[in-house]
Amino acid sequence: MTSKNVAPTQQTPKQPSKWMSWIGGIAFTFLIAFLGFLLAKVPGFDHIGQLACAIIIAVAYRHFFGYPEAIRSGIAFSSKRLLRTAIILYGLKLNIDTVLSDGLGLLARDAGVVIFAIFMTIWLAKVFKADKDISLLLGVGTGICGAAAIAAVAPIVKAKEEDTAIGVGIIALMGTIFAIGYTILRPILPLDSIQYGMWAGISLHEVAHVALAGAPAGEDGLAIALLAKLGRVFLLVPVCFIFIYLMKRKSKGTEETDAKIEFPWFLVGFIMLSVLGSYVFGHSIPVSDNVMEGVFTLTTWLLTAAMVGLGLNVSLRDVRDRAMRPLAAMTVTSILLSVIVYFIV
């Protein structure tokens, strides 16, 4: 009998199909997102928010159990595709008409804040010898709109997923601390509700942080705070195109070619939904507040699941070794920003 008639004695372990890996990975990121949602209900964690809580859980899972390789494709889908979908839907939060008609004066100050935050963080990063990529992302997040800005700029500047997750985690945590600090200072500051609202809207990191800090100023103070913040969100698009231009210039004369600078098409979706939300929905096409609130909730969940995918790439050892100095640079920038804006409102 020849050897070719002998059946093999060992079999290769069966791997999950690509379809199951994809579904399982997405489901896993939403599971951790849900755990983050529950953790955010716990006193103490309720001030941090769902996004930061989910990232904490994801990083802890990676630290204790390792990266779930069997469902990598689904996790990657969440961290990339769902993230871009969330940014597109985020465009509905931006009312272009309101910014252009009522907030042009604030928009000029917003532009100054964006420029100051980015360049100051980069300069301090050089002084502190901090990681350049993380510091750049933190500067963008501090100046514009936190996690959404970091997520939008990261693929343009070719930041690693791990750096993106570290940046988002830091901005969520520090923004929350600053927002709580603003609410504590509110009763003792010699600012009226409008001035306080402008201070919060021009200087704080995330839209959620502005809402948290602006609430004690009443309806008028909160309204002006959100208007000031919308101006900074509005500036996300031109800032992204500036980075595209700079990256293309940087790639000339090097091994990288212009073709490798991928155009961020999700920004086109962001702009389109901003236009639709500003001039079509609620005008030509009636849309109820409940529907819009549902879309905003979906956006939050998609962004949270995406951040979970990024968080699973984070090594706590790298956070310790690489994030402390960028955190220091960002903290100093945020403090300076708060002080400067306080005196110009």
Rg (CA), the chain: 22
Q: What is the pLDDT along the chain (345 residues), one digit of tens a residue?
A: 444 454 444 544 455 678 888 999 999 999 999 999 999 899 878 777 788 788 889 888 988 998 898 898 999 898 888 888 888 888 887 778 777 776 777 888 999 999 999 999 999 999 999 999 999 999 999 999 888 899 889 989 989 888 998 898 888 878 878 988 898 898 899 999 989 999 999 999 888 788 878 878 887 888 888 888 888 988 998 999 999 989 888 876 555 544 455 666 777 888 888 888 888 876 777 778 788 889 889 988 998 898 888 788 777 776 777 889 999 999 999 999 999 999 988
Gap between the Cα atoms of 58 and 309, Å rounded: 8
Beta bridge partners of 285: 281
pLDDT at residue 285, rounded to an integer: 77
Residue 159 — left, alpha, or beta (φ > 0 → left; ψ -120 to 50 → alpha)?
A: beta
pLDDT at residue 251, rounded to an integer: 73
Helix axes of 193-203 and 207-214: crossing angle, nearest 10 degrees = 160
DSSP letter for each residue of 243-293: HHHHHHHHHTTSSS-GGGS---HHHHHHHHHHHHHHHTBTTTB---HHHHH
The amino acid present at 229, given as its one-letter code, is K
* Cα separations in angstroms, 110 against 23, 44, 201, 210, 242: 41, 31, 9, 14, 16
Beta bridge partners of 281: 285
Torsion of CA 289, 229, 141, 304, to 10 degrees: -10
Do residues 132 and 231 make contact, with C-beta atoms less than 8 angstroms apart?
A: no
Q: Which tokens hold the place of 228?
A: 């000031």
Residue 162 — left, alpha, or beta (φ > 0 → left; ψ -120 to 50 → alpha)?
A: alpha
Gap between the Cα atoms of 299 and 145, Å rounded: 15
pLDDT at residue 104, rounded to an integer: 75
Residues listed for the chain = 345
- Give which of 134, 194, 172, 171 is closest to 319, Cα–Cα: 134
pLDDT at residue 282, rounded to an integer: 65
